[in-house]
Structure 1
């Protein structure tokens, strides 16, 4: 089954595309064979991207508070698509509007799965504000001692690949976590141990965190992210599931193993 991978050059999409030999990689700036232009802000790109595909890995537009209208418009054009796997989040509750409205749209497709991963381990690397905190020696959140079942994006991609290619459709939600729940202070301690450099965690009020994040994204979206930190503080993400092993047959990667591998790759790059 040919599959359109939206966000195919991104964190989970890029990993997923490498697992699917027939993947059509959707990106705003296609430059390589197998890539096709796709832009959520340009609906005229939808038809060509969907031509000839039967499955879709759906990553909604990033930084949009209510992506439901554009996603609904996209799915209405996906007439020959039989299976859709949506990347949602463990932090998103179902609702009539916003991100919480997307699972209902996907469940209207004959075959589907909704992936609800916890927070990415990759947030501690790359360009994320948490990763910047690692580099600065101080991770700033509004989570206090709240714990998160951080998950490796590679494990999310592995679950997505099975959901897209298994002969029997999953037709279910997959709550995806890593093998342990850690506070940001716990994660900072692991990073400190592995790097030999002190990295601390400092918790602030949500209003202060909103101000910090709003320097990089629209303020409305920054406030939403800060509110998610408050949910973590209150225990909303303090859970662990066996979904990765149940679906793929292998256990989820630990944060220590993930960050150790990251350091090994960057030291030899």
Structure 2
């Protein structure tokens, strides 16, 4: 029996690139879907161009499914793709969802039931907020580097931030384990922290002054909109911050160690690994 081929949508993104690396390390072919493919292992794929879907699915056994980004109601785009995937012979689908999204969440929550109902074998990953939001091009990271501030509407609410490496490790197991998981996986890191606590850890690890500046939901919505995010999605994101303020993300699960056999990475260890990225701006004052 030949080894499976897995289509990785969002294959150049935060989790998708890591999933592709993990699949290859396991000796499995990863076909990376990208709007601008580079290399023999990548194929052109655009959610808004259905003509790109069939070639991407040709000969594929499983799909790591990252929904279209920035849409509050992506189901009308994802549903026909899923149906086409099953007709093409795909058996296993692993969906990247979010701990902040439930089945009852308007628009986005519909994706969970779509995957459960369409795929013979499936898993829904519902990770907490990414540790990677504090580095790279994310607005949180940009604020840290530019002004030493993390601006949120979360108040003192806590989040068990999770490393994308751990999300990918669970995804690879969900894609390759002989027995399908056929369940939702709520993924978290090993501890829940407020943004003020995160700022303190970053300051300790980098030697730079970093603080959390809490704002109200209306002000945060305005800030997100000014960054170029559509109004409806900006309001949705601000609502997630308000959910954090009310305790919705203050929880820790054992899914990462249970599925992967190793401990989930801590926030402090993550910041220590990325110290250089957080100190590259001269605008940050020393502690």
> How would you bin the TM-score normalised by the shorter chain?
over 0.9
TM superposition outliers: structure 1 runs of 4+ over 6 Å: 265-268
What is the DSSP-based 3-state SS (H/G/I as helix, E as strand, rest coil) of the residue aligned with 1:20? helix
Contact 1:6 1:56 in 2 (8 A): yes
TM-score, length-scaled by structure 2:
0.91
1:234 alignment partner in structure 2: 246
Q: Deviations over 1:33-69 (max 9, x none)?
A: 2000111111111101000001000000000110001
* Residue number in structure 1 paired with 2:83: 76
- Counterparts of 2:222 and 2:276 in 1: how far apart (Å)? 34
Which residue of the other structure, out of 71, 74, 78, is the alignment partner of 1:67? 74
How far apart, in 2, do the equivalents of 1:182 and 1:134 lie? 17
| Match status 1:16 vs 2:25 | no
Where 2:200 maps in the other structure, the secondary structure is helix
- 1:46 paired with 2:53, answer yes
Higher mean displacement: 257-266 or 86-95: 257-266
Using the TM superposition, give the Cα deviation of residue 95 of structure 1 relative to its aligned residue in structure 2, in angstroms.
3.1
Secondary structure of 2:274's counterpart equals: helix
Q: Which runs of 5+ in 2 are unaligned?
A: 281-287
Over the residues paired in the alignment, what is the CA RMSD in angstroms? 1.4
Gaps of 5+ in 1: none
- For residue 142 of structure 1, the aligned residue among 131, 153, 169 is 153
> What is the aligned partner in structure 2 of residue 128 from structure 1?
138
Which of 214, 218, 221 matches 1:203?
Answer: 214
Aligned to 1:161: 172
Confirm or deny: 8 A CA contact 1:68 1:97 kept in the other structure: no
| TM-score scaled by length of structure 1 | 0.97
Determine the C-alpha separation between the residues in 2 that align with 1:127 and 1:245. 29
* Pairing partner for 1:107 from 100, 104, 116: 116
Could you tell me how far apart the structure 1 residues matched to 2:225 and 2:60 are?
A: 38
